[in-house]
Amino acid sequence: MSRRFRNILLATAGSAVLAISAATFASANIPSIDFKGDAAGAPLSDESDAAAIPAPVSAAPLFVSADNTGICMLSDDVIAALDRDQAKIGGEVFRLADNLTQDFADSWRREAGQTPVKVSGVIAHIFGHDGETAADVVEFDAKGCAMSRTILSGDDFATLINMSGGLAV
């Protein structure tokens, strides 16, 4: 079921809502990743389920320079970093269309029980792990700097895309 979901997500995403930044699929050994969230991908229906989708991670500097200080990573730099990850573990790197970006971020924070914030972009690296799909999602602030980076299950990512008016999977 998850392989079918992954194939549907990747095929549909490329043709409709998401603009593909990189489209090469490579196979490789995938490192162990702890998936969190609603494994069934069911839409969340009430406040008691709010913690099922992890909140965006932004408590520490996302990217650091050689002297270990936080730096502003712009989307082109993040895409380059995710492209390097893609070369190692496979998958696809996508940039959410501008008209989907804010709705996606608002849906994510609403489901995670957080206050919405202004975002200027969202980039995701969708990849496989042990027959499951995951998404490494990076959001950008109003200045264009990466402000959050979170690993979501493929089901959680698809749920948020659907909630924000994206794909019908």
Model pLDDT for residues 81-136, shown as the tens digit of each residue? 999 999 999 999 999 999 999 999 999 999 999 999 999 999 999 999 788 999 99
152 DSSP β-pair partners: 135
Number of neighbouring beta carbons within 10 Å of residue 92 = 22
pTM above 0.75, yes or no: no
Confidence band, pLDDT 50/70/90 cuts, at residue 167: low
- Spatial CA neighbour of 108 closest among 40, 169, 20, 38: 38
Rounded alpha-carbon distances, angstroms, from residue 51 to 46, 132, 152: 10, 21, 13
**Spatial distance between the Cα atoms of 21 and 96, rounded to a whole number of angstroms:** 10
Average pLDDT over the chain, rounded to an integer: 73
- pLDDT over threshold 90, residue 31: no
